[in-house]
Structure 1
Amino acid sequence: MANNGENKQTVLSTLPKDLPLDFLRSSTDQFSKERIIGTGAFGTVYRGTMPDGQTIAVKKLAENAPLPRDRAFTNEVQNIMALQHDNIVKLVGYCHEGQKKVVLNNGRYIVADVYESLLCYEYLAKGSLQKNLFEGHSNMAWHTRFKIIKGICNGLLFLHRIPIIHMDLKPENILLDHNMMPKIADFGLSRLFGQEQTRANTQNVVGSYGYIAPEYLYRGEISTQSDIYSLGLLIIETTTGEKNQPKQNEPSAREFIEKVHKNWTDGHITSMYPHLNKNELQEVKVCIQIGLECVNIDRKNRPSIETIVEKLDGRCANDMANLQISTSSRRG
């Protein structure tokens, strides 16, 4: 058989590489503070430079992460290693390496193997959706917001068909490339379900306050609908430009949802987007409607990701023609 694609990348050749710790130290100037581009519950992200000049993002997992470091590392590597999708951040390398160090243990100094866990991703120049929506003077055009919403939904559709449940969708975990194409990132809490499995229960509830679905928060129930709840808040925030900020020690987004439901009427939408044409205003209304349906307190009444993508693509004619932000979605 003739080989017509000697330079064509195969899936195997694009799979992440096990990289040496010293190599990653060198690429980040020994994990210098000047190289930090983000911090979170799971660790610190540094800007790394490869020998060929390519920039990568290097996440050094924290010891005190919400999940044990080994499990968070395994989650990310196993769950997204072979994922190839425009709206999923690409894992390009990883490192789990032990080095002998002198450490203090019960009052005595001992020599022990200390492991570092690191994950390397494609570098996305525009940073997080959080930064672009809420930090600085953000004046994002509607067509960009709509493109971001559709991209996030397409990425989640891809994940849920595997099925992988992300478990931590929020603006900080959506990264944007130079064309403002969104990519879902940070799979430290993600769950890979068996093909017949649709729900699971856990007593160890972890996630981001204000984005956790109520059935997971209060009963430990996990399903694809857990992600749909978080997605609804993401869609609402991106559409309105308003930040979901739960009060201290208040895990629910109920107050934010009620405020959006009350304020974002047809008249308010027109006043907030005065330069949009009729079709664009309809897009805004559809996004508000979808967002409020997604945050229904009863997971069974939330739309599937397939239905959401269809609505955003304008394939649900009846819904588009009879668009009403119904009071039945006033839940959260």
Structure 2
Amino acid sequence: MDGNASTAYNVLERMVLDESEEPRSLPLSLLETITNNFSDEMKLGSGGFAVVYKGVLGSRAVAVKLLCGAMNLDEKQFIKEVQCLMKVRHKNIVRLLGYCADTQGLMINFEGKSVMADVRNRALCFEYVSNGSLDNFITDASRGLEWRVRYKVIKGICEGLHYLHENRILHLDLKPSNILVDGNMVPKIADFGLSRIFDEDQSKIITTKLIGSVGYLAPEFYSKEITLKLDIYSLGVVIMEILTGEKGFSSAEKVIESWRNRLELSHGDDEQVRVCAEIGMQCMEADRDKRPTTQDIIKMFIELGGTSSEEHVSLQESTNINFLHTSSQFFSEVVMQCILPCLHL
């Protein structure tokens, strides 16, 4: 490990322990070292755009997301993901520890000539979430997680999404595989590669690309118009999957009945199942204007007793404070590191 990587190793160790630390630039050599040079045995998972590796820091671990096909990488998408992640800090959103925007010159043979090409490596470093993604835990009501745990997960996802929407951030790919759960079954929303940020006075975005995951897309998405209600629809599908193991259910009564067949619910549990089912089905309304906002959903939890008014006030305060917490110099650094190399391609 070179001197820069050694120093960064110590910094990253400190960041893992101290949640008040800001995300920062990390050298590629450090990420190579802690992942054993991105070896297969350190691989945690992969998707269409990235491979995630486990990074080892002594007795602690981090997750390193290495973007695939960096030569053809969409720099705007990378910057967008970093921009979103650096603006958020919430217990139900995966914590960004650092990023790598590394560009190196490499001699290659092109049409019989040796030419210098810029090789781009883009990676993100996150807290390590030990239990993996939520889709590993979703089953029908007859088996799997007990009700209290499912309720905790549903409530946490709603609070995380509320935080994002209060900060004008759309996730746009909310689904169980993009929600991680830690050792205490606390859910953490992850994978912001498709996310968008609204300006303060903006209520919708028109996109030219169809993005997201089939089964979680709201009907109006095919019109290429993006609003906060797109995430709400996806949330509804996720809630119904957590409740039933299926993406939809015809009524709250049927959901409650399926849980009664599994175990004897107390009156409080019975009401929690009912409210969660109603939230899920309201979120999946075909007419987006009939879907609740995250504020409406949080209010339903407060009325149910699942979130105290003090917790709600704290949630609002953290939304306002943490959104401004990230230093602008970090984001400026990311933009410069990502964009300047592109000018030489």
Query: What TM-score do you get using the length of structure 1 for normalisation?
Result: 0.80
Answer yes or no: is the 8 Å Cα contact 1:204–1:220 preserved in 2: yes
| Deviation of the 1:105 alpha carbon | 4.2
SS for the counterpart of 2:236 is: helix
How has the CA–CA distance of structure 1 residues 271 and 18 changed in structure 2, closer, same or farther, with 3 Å as cutoff? same
| Deviation of the 1:305 alpha carbon | 0.7
Indicate yes or no: 2:44 matched with 1:40: no
Indicate yes or no: 2:295 matched with 1:306: yes
CA distance in 1, matches of 2:21, 2:304: 35
Question: What is the aligned counterpart of 2:69 among 63, 71, 80?
Answer: 63
Q: Which amino acid aligns with 2:280?
A: G
Answer yes or no: is the 8 Å Cα contact 1:36–1:47 preserved in 2: yes
| Deviation of the 1:268 alpha carbon | 2.8
CA distance in 1, matches of 2:261, 2:131: 25
Match of 1:173 in 2: 178
How has the CA–CA distance of structure 1 residues 210 and 68 changed in structure 2, closer, same or farther, with 3 Å as cutoff? farther
Indicate yes or no: 2:117 matched with 1:112: yes
Indicate yes or no: 2:134 matched with 1:125: no
CA distance in 1, matches of 2:70, 2:224: 22
Alignment of 1:143-292 (within 5 A): 143-216=148-221, 218-242=222-246, 244=247, 257=248, 260-261=249-250, 265=254, 268-292=257-281
Query: What TM-score do you get using the length of structure 2 for normalisation?
Result: 0.77
CA distance in 2, matches of 1:107, 1:213: 50
Alignment of 1:128-139 (within 5 A): 128-134=133-139, 139=144
- If asked which structure has higher relative contact order (CA below 8 Å, sep 6+), I would say 2
CA distance in 2, matches of 1:55, 1:62: 22
Question: What is the aligned counterpart of 2:98 among 93, 105, 121?
Answer: 93
| Deviation of the 1:311 alpha carbon | 1.3
Unaligned 5+ runs, structure 2 = 1-13, 306-345
Q: Which amino acid aligns with 2:295?
A: E
Q: Deviations along 1:192-235, whole A, 9 cap, x unmatched? A: 1101001111121111111111111x200101100000000011
SS for the counterpart of 1:313 is: helix
CA distance in 1, matches of 2:230, 2:63: 28
CA distance in 1, matches of 2:188, 2:69: 26
Q: Deviations along 1:150-202, whole A, 9 cap, x unmatched? A: 00000111110111000000000101111110011010011011010011111
| Deviation of the 1:64 alpha carbon | 8.0
Q: Which moved more, 1:98-107 or 1:198-207?
A: 98-107
CA distance in 2, matches of 1:172, 1:107: 45
Answer yes or no: is the 8 Å Cα contact 1:69–1:117 preserved in 2: no
Unaligned 5+ runs, structure 1 = 1-6, 245-256, 317-332
SS for the counterpart of 2:137 is: helix
CA distance in 1, matches of 2:288, 2:119: 43
Question: What is the aligned counterpart of 2:56 among 33, 43, 49?
Answer: 49
CA distance in 1, matches of 2:260, 2:19: 52
Answer yes or no: is the 8 Å Cα contact 1:174–1:182 preserved in 2: yes
| Deviation of the 1:131 alpha carbon | 1.3
| Deviation of the 1:262 alpha carbon | 6.2
Q: Which amino acid aligns with 2:169?
A: I
SS for the counterpart of 2:64 is: strand
CA distance in 1, matches of 2:131, 2:69: 28
CA distance in 2, matches of 1:108, 1:272: 72
Match of 1:321 in 2: none
Q: Which amino acid aligns with 2:32?
A: R
Match of 2:319 in 1: none
| Deviation of the 1:71 alpha carbon | 2.1
Structure 1 runs (4+) greater than 6 angstroms displaced: none
Match of 2:7 in 1: none
User: What is the identity percentage for the equivalent residue pairs of Structure 1 and Structure 2?
Assistant: 40
Q: Which amino acid aligns with 1:165?
A: L
CA distance in 1, matches of 2:215, 2:109: 39
Q: Which amino acid aligns with 2:60?
A: Q
CA distance in 1, matches of 2:215, 2:125: 28
How has the CA–CA distance of structure 1 residues 53 and 201 changed in structure 2, closer, same or farther, with 3 Å as cutoff? same
CA distance in 2, matches of 1:170, 1:293: 17
| Deviation of the 1:42 alpha carbon | 2.3
| Deviation of the 1:273 alpha carbon | 3.5
Match of 2:82 in 1: 77
How has the CA–CA distance of structure 1 residues 104 and 307 changed in structure 2, closer, same or farther, with 3 Å as cutoff? farther
| Deviation of the 1:237 alpha carbon | 0.5
CA distance in 2, matches of 1:59, 1:159: 21
Match of 1:25 in 2: 32
